[in-house]
Structure 1
Amino acid sequence: MTLEASRELLQPGEGSQEQYSTTNLVGASVTKICINPTAAFNSYARLSQGLDLAIQNDNALGLRIWFARGPATGCTANITAQTTSGAGGSAGFPLGGLPYGTLNIGTGLQSYSIDVNEHVITHEIGHTIGMRHSDYYDRSISCGTSGNEGTAGVGAILIPGTPTRDPDSIFNSCFNSTASGEFSPYDVVALNYLY
């Protein structure tokens, strides 16, 4: 990391929105990650379509890891996609070289567009492979309310090649109802750098 980047990390909240990763990433032995939706998840048409589009988003990048909707064979890691309440999602970060094993996607997303469902699920898949929120240090950037997530015990490592501002990042903390579900060009840079 450059001296300039180090100084920038020490000055949160000054308008920078780089892409960040955790110290925990998916190991080289993981190549095919199968995402297995529960029956309840599959019963929500927009969640199900959003998952398909999110998988397409990641696979279109040609990374060393790729995703398949389960059940599938040849999986070197598995993630369960399950429902929760609300209109958002949550997922953890990799551990022991494996992606986090669960995506929690709110059933309230059913009332949003397929693009928003794609956005939220793509965002949560990003967490399972080590992406942090682009605005982790100042959630007011995308959420309207302040807060700093800190390093969360997993680090917040600036990814080289990402800009000082990327308001279109799919990895910002909060989404809006006009979300396209697509990676920003700098999200692509970040994911290609990591994988």
Structure 2
Amino acid sequence: MVKKPAPDATRRSQRSRRAIYEAALALVVEEGYPRTTVEGIAARAGVGKQTIYRWWSSKADVLLEAFLDLGEQAARQAGYEPYSVPDTGDLAADLKAVLRATVDELVDPRFEAPWRALAAEGLVDEQLGREFVAKLLEPQLDLYARRLRAAQAAGAVRPDVDPRIGLELFVSPLAQRWLQRTAPISHAYTDTLVDYALYGLAPR
């Protein structure tokens, strides 16, 4: 009698996590954040509710982790390290490359709908808003700040510049234009933001 191999619990857990991620992102797009529930995510993913609560404490935790995972998957498919800012020694080129990748994500329906849902709900749900900032926004902003500090050390940015204010010169206009849909976003637009931020508006 041939002995069957024992089930791979790790592989089963990964399949369940992936199904939960996909279910959570799909539901927040279809139903909106307020109507998305842990029960609904579990049913859509084909798992028990207790499975979700074993790994996460709330639907917000599920959605934020699912969104982070989506970003990592897309980055690797595109061939670059997720959630990173390169340091080639050319600050303008590095910033333009990252912002171009950001534009590609923001106009991708897989990202746009859940990102808008989470951003909008974060304005009215204080707890979700704090988690949204802490888990999604702050880590990315810190990457920009670190790249600007490296540029300061290399003499490419004035030593008196506050990196956290400096990064707002190109990150904030992009976020505002995308959220408010005041105009299309494109690679040309973010390239221009970097040029304006680094070289100013005065004649040189």
TM-score, structure 1 as length reference: 0.24
- Higher Cα Rg, which structure: 2
Bigger helix fraction: 2
- RCO higher in 1 or 2 (8 Å CA, sep ≥ 6)? 1
TM-score, structure 2 as length reference: 0.23
Bigger strand fraction: 1
